[in-house]
Amino acid sequence: MYVCSCFGITEQQVKEHAEAGACTPRKIASVCKAGTDCGGCVRAIQAVLGRGSCPRRELLDRKRTPGADSGATGGDADALAPAVAQGAVGPARLPEAA
């Protein structure tokens, strides 16, 4: 069944691209242009992707290396805390009016 009639992309092609790593409508668009013309197929692409065509988030999280997370907790944020407290790092201050 065609998902994108503008570019002739089938549901099977979307599934194949998803298995190869294109797990979002934007990534699907980048590999086969589906969803980039009229946009009428974007919801259909989302539906196909939501049917288990992509690896589960838990599997992706397990593949990450420890310490690769750039979240606000831990790592650099903790290292900068003393500098922020001393005023060495922080928002830029405007000069006071004379």
For residue range 68-86, list pLDDT tens digits in order: 554 444 444 444 445 445 5
Q: Which amino acid is at 12?
A: Q
Q: Delineate the domains of the chain, giving CATH numbers in brackets.
A: 2-57 (1.10.10.1100)
Residue 44's contacts (CB-CB under 8 Å, 6 or more residues apart) are: 3, 4, 11
Asked if 2 and 9 count as a contact pair (C-beta separation under 8 A), the reply is yes
Q: What is the pTM of this model?
A: 0.54
Phi–psi pair at 51, nearest 5 degrees: -95, 25
Asked if 11 and 28 count as a contact pair (C-beta separation under 8 A), the reply is no
pLDDT, position 32:
96
Q: Say whether pLDDT at 1 is over 50.
A: yes
- 10 strand-pairing partners: 2
Give residue-wise pLDDT tens across range 49-67: 987 656 555 555 566 656 5
pLDDT, position 50:
87
The mean pLDDT of 18-46, rounded to a whole number, is 93
Residue 63's contacts (CB-CB under 8 Å, 6 or more residues apart) are: none
The gap from C-alpha 64 to its chain's centroid, in whole angstroms, comes to: 15
Asked if 76 and 69 count as a contact pair (C-beta separation under 8 A), the reply is no
